[in-house]
Amino acid sequence: MTTQPDPDLRTTLHRIADSSAPMPVADDLWQRGRAARRRGQVLAVAAVLALIVSVGGVATLVSTNDREARTASSGEVEGGAIPSTIEDPEGQPITELAIGRASVAYVEETGTPVLVDATTGVAHRVELPSFPDLQVLDLLADRSTGPLLAVSPDGRQVAYAATVFAEGPAGQPSFSTSRYVVVDLTTGVSDLVDVPPGTGTPRAISWTADGQLAVDVYGFATADDVEPPVESWTIDPDTGASRKTPLTGVPAPGGGISATYPLGDEATAAVPFQTADGTDADRELPSDLYPDGAAVTPVGWADDSLLVARVDAPAGSYVEGRHLVIFTSPDRPESEWTYRFLVRDVPDTSSLSIAVDLVPDLDGTSSQQLTHDFTQPTDQRDISWIIGLGVAAAIAVLMGLRRLWRRLT
């Protein structure tokens, strides 16, 4: 029998509902629906966070690479720095000496002076006016015990002895040090400075903390069979005024102690020092680093008690070969003792000096970077694959969360 629909739809629906059997509904259906909704919201938030973390991680990695590239870039470093690696110079010697500031100065085996730009790390062969030729340098090397080319503490000047060679009595070599030369690396202008009165062959040259030249020279012997005495003088490069000092070698800024130049290139277990009161002192080298000792040549003082020195370590040492170190002088208590490597693998030369003002103050941690890496920056194209992997990882995380969402709901 067919029932005709009522004109009133509402009446029809009520009649159908009254004639139908009620369907069973669980009592916790509403609570389960709300819980599912909350899970969906949590998973949505997790998906968003996963995406943010993935993209943020890639951004952090890229920014870290950018920061490392800037730190290690070949671009200019404001204020200058000591290079972590002293690169070999390229090209012919340049005559333009206004490089601004040098971090390292040394003489090649060919007798050519080299200056390392403090802001770029680039090594330049340079032509210095009245610089001794190779023959004179070879003869001086037999008698000198320290640098004959010295860069000032701030790196803005270099100094050397304008020494010429002549044949003396009985064919013996004779030297004439007519002037010391100081070159201003900001302007490129060189000035002649008078030598101390009554002095002979230069033995080594360095700078004091207040911008004076400190020169060790051989005085004139009173007899033919007497070795000429070693004297130390300081010279004002602006006025040429000079005075004799009691301390030979490289005087500390405080003036109470100096690091003396070695008498030879033999390895020693301790570094010799002199004090203002006339007593000798020394600082033992770490035996675990140099079990057979090492030959140590002072370069300059980073502060009143920290000496920068070149170390020539024999085979079997912890660090073999030539390198620069910084360590505490013996006038400080052993509780303040420190020994840090500054530059590994320095050039093979007896005339190596650095701008000691560019060495940062020690913060007491072994992780502190004392030099700057001037190597080439990382190519930005090299990190494109990292970005691609990061995006792919973010998509995979989202797809996994979507599948889990569907399973739970």
pLDDT of residue 381: 42
Contact, 353 vs 297, CB < 8 A?
A: no
Return the minimum-mean-pLDDT range out of 78-82, 221-225, 268-272.
Answer: 221-225
Residue 377 pLDDT level (bands cut at 50, 70, 90) = low
pLDDT of residue 407: 64
- Look at residue 190 and tell me if it is in a domain: yes
- For the chain, what is the domain count? 2
Boundaries of domain holding 51: 46-61+383-409
**Strand extents, DSSP E, 111-256:** 113-117, 123-125, 149-151, 157-167, 173-184, 190-193, 202-207, 213-218, 230-235, 242-245, 250-251
Higher pLDDT, 155 or 390: 155
pLDDT of residue 250: 95
Closest CA to 358 of 136, 105, 37: 105
- Look at residue 166 and tell me if it is in a domain: yes
- Look at residue 203 and tell me if it is in a domain: yes
- Look at residue 331 and tell me if it is in a domain: no
Looking at the structure, tell me whether residues 240 and 176 fall in a common domain: yes
Contact, 299 vs 313, CB < 8 A?
A: no
Rounded mean pLDDT of 147-161?
95
pLDDT of residue 36: 60
pTM of whole model > 0.85?
no
Looking at the structure, tell me whether residues 50 and 112 fall in a common domain: no
Return the minimum-mean-pLDDT range out of 98-102, 235-239, 379-383, 402-406.
Answer: 379-383
Looking at the structure, tell me whether residues 56 and 148 fall in a common domain: no
pLDDT of residue 380: 42
pLDDT of residue 85: 94
The tokens describing 94, both together, are 């340049």
Separation of alpha carbons 387 and 56, rounded Å: 11
Separation of alpha carbons 308 and 375, rounded Å: 24
Torsion, Cα of 385, 388, 394, 397 (10° steps) = -70
In three-state secondary structure terms, 78 is coil
pLDDT of residue 323: 97
Looking at the structure, tell me whether residues 154 and 87 fall in a common domain: yes
User: What strands lie across the sheet with 353-354, from one edge to the other?
Assistant: 123-125, 113-117, 102-107, 353-354
Looking at the structure, tell me whether residues 144 and 251 fall in a common domain: yes
- Look at residue 172 and tell me if it is in a domain: yes
Looking at the structure, tell me whether residues 142 and 228 fall in a common domain: yes
- Look at residue 388 and tell me if it is in a domain: yes
Percent with pLDDT over 90 in the chain: 50
Higher pLDDT, 379 or 82: 82
Dump pLDDT digits (tens) for 55-96.
555 444 444 444 333 333 446 788 899 999 999 998 999 999
pLDDT of residue 371: 95
Closest CA to 92 of 119, 114, 118, 121: 114
Judged against a pLDDT cut of 50, whether residue 242 lies above it is answered with yes
- Look at residue 24 and tell me if it is in a domain: no
Judged against a pLDDT cut of 70, whether residue 3 lies above it is answered with no
Looking at the structure, tell me whether residues 53 and 176 fall in a common domain: no
Q: Round to the nearest angstrom and report the end-to-end CA distance of the chain.
A: 44
Looking at the structure, tell me whether residues 234 and 88 fall in a common domain: yes
Judged against a pLDDT cut of 70, whether residue 394 lies above it is answered with no
Looking at the structure, tell me whether residues 161 and 107 fall in a common domain: yes
Separation of alpha carbons 322 and 101, rounded Å: 24
Residues 6+ apart with CB under 8 A from 174: 165, 166, 167, 168
Most trustworthy range by pLDDT among 38-42, 297-301, 387-391: 297-301
Looking at the structure, tell me whether residues 57 and 122 fall in a common domain: no
Looking at the structure, tell me whether residues 244 and 354 fall in a common domain: yes
Output the average pLDDT for the chain: 81
Dump pLDDT digits (tens) for 250-268.
999 987 899 999 877 889 9
The tokens describing 242, both together, are 């000079």
Closest CA to 230 of 241, 243, 215: 215
pLDDT of residue 89: 95
- Look at residue 178 and tell me if it is in a domain: yes
Looking at the structure, tell me whether residues 122 and 209 fall in a common domain: yes
Separation of alpha carbons 366 and 358, rounded Å: 18
